[in-house]
Copies of this chain bind each other. A is one copy, B any other.
Amino acid sequence: MYNIDLANVKSIVADIVAKHNVENVAFVGCGASKAELYPAKYFLANCSKKLRVAHYTANEFNYDTPDWLGDTTVVITASLGGSTPETVKANSVAKAAGATVVSVTHAAGSALTKEADYTIVHGFEANYAAKLEKMGYVLALAVEILQQVEGFDKYDKMIEGLTNVFEAAENAANSARKSAKEFAEKYKDAPVVYVMSSGASMEVAYSTSICLMMEMQWVNSGSFHSGEFFHGPFEIVDKDVPFILLMNDGKTRPVDARALTFLHRFDALTTVVDAKDYGLGNAVDSSVITYFNPLMHTAVFRVYAEELSYVRQHPLTLRRYMWKLEY
């Protein structure tokens, strides 16, 4: 019911691999879409023994295009509406260099699909699981590329996870309402909110900060890796300074746990969204669970953002500049 089309992903990658010698994979997007590419980048960069993996905000890719971009490169771009000008331009830059482009978007026929060699159209509105499809498809592309280019001993576990995680995340989001309401009450007047995570979820923290807080709520915010917390940011901790920790189940859990201990010790205003509390381990094998935290965090925190927007009477769709002005 909540599954993505893994067979289509497999077939796209098979076609690419049949035609090209894949040596480089570049993930390119902007804002929330850039962040949604990160779990796949994290997975592929850590698990591949041969591929070169890169991740760019689109205009950096466009203006400082890497020297190696060419016909051994697969460029994976993403944009919800498919019209983000910088990302559409990145497709042109990639094609001009001879790269293969796979674009992931909610908008069939959008500008992003025009130059793409392959397009995957993902859901969004239906439910919380649908809002994860973009991130999930990109992760599935990375898994298939790794398997088909060099083989991956945990491939079956990754496919199992990609099959199960959407329903698990949907259920998690639907059980988060009460906690989300408590969060909204506690944070509604916060002058600034910090967001932390680690591992594959690092850019969920980033997009929570720059999109959900700054863009959609006009709340001051910063984000950083929970392992970096002790090398600068923790000096800002004081009683009632607001933090959100997206806590991972998997390899970097001890890094998150150390930050949490410190936050509690000094009575910071702390909200923890722990993938373990939401049963990620029931849906995904422990050998690969590290890579599935971002889907769980994104689904659950969406509910938190909704409740915050209700209490603050500030719809998540309200903008002062975006969609209104030329810039």
A223 to B214, CA, bound (A): 12
B-facing residues in A215-241 (Cβ within 8 Å): 215-216, 218, 220-225, 227-228, 230-237
* Contact partners of A192 in chain B: CB under 8 A: 191-192, 220
A238 to B191, CA, bound (A): 15
Residue in B45, B58, B210 whose CB lies within 8 Å of A233: B210
- Determine how close the nearest CB of chain B comes to the CB of A216; give it in whole angstroms: 8
Which chain B residue shows the least CB distance to A219?
B236
Which chain B residue shows the least CB distance to A223?
B222
On whether the beta carbons of B64 and A199 are closer than 8 Å, the reply is yes
- Determine how close the nearest CB of chain B comes to the CB of A16; give it in whole angstroms: 20
On whether the beta carbons of A237 and B57 are closer than 8 Å, the reply is no
State whether the Cβ of A121 lies closer than 8 Å to any Cβ in chain B. Answer: no
On whether the beta carbons of A57 and B228 are closer than 8 Å, the reply is yes
- Determine how close the nearest CB of chain B comes to the CB of A73; give it in whole angstroms: 11
Residue in B191, B234, B235, B251 whose CB lies within 8 Å of A64: B251
A68-83 toward B: CB 8 Å interface, digit per residue (1/0)? 1000000000000000
On whether the beta carbons of B210 and A32 are closer than 8 Å, the reply is no
A13 to B252, CA, bound (A): 32
Residue in B54, B58, B211, B227 whose CB lies within 8 Å of A59: B227
On whether the beta carbons of B231 and A218 are closer than 8 Å, the reply is no
On whether the beta carbons of A235 and B319 are closer than 8 Å, the reply is yes
A228 to B236, CA, bound (A): 25
On whether the beta carbons of B252 and A60 are closer than 8 Å, the reply is yes
A211 to B84, CA, bound (A): 33
A91 to B22, CA, bound (A): 32
On whether the beta carbons of A64 and B52 are closer than 8 Å, the reply is no
On whether the beta carbons of A222 and B225 are closer than 8 Å, the reply is no
Residue in B215, B225, B290 whose CB lies within 8 Å of A232: B215
A191 to B236, CA, bound (A): 12
State whether the Cβ of A151 lies closer than 8 Å to any Cβ in chain B. Answer: no
Residue in B47, B199, B250 whose CB lies within 8 Å of A67: B47
A67 to B51, CA, bound (A): 12
Which chain B residue shows the least CB distance to A206?
B224
A305-327 toward B: CB 8 Å interface, digit per residue (1/0)? 00000000000000111100001
On whether the beta carbons of A68 and B48 are closer than 8 Å, the reply is yes
On whether the beta carbons of A210 and B232 are closer than 8 Å, the reply is yes
16 CB contacts below 8 A, A to B, read A30-B228, A31-B228, A32-B232, A45-B54, A51-B52, A60-B199, A60-B225, A63-B252, A191-B191, A191-B220, A210-B232, A215-B231, A222-B223, A234-B321, A234-B322, A237-B321
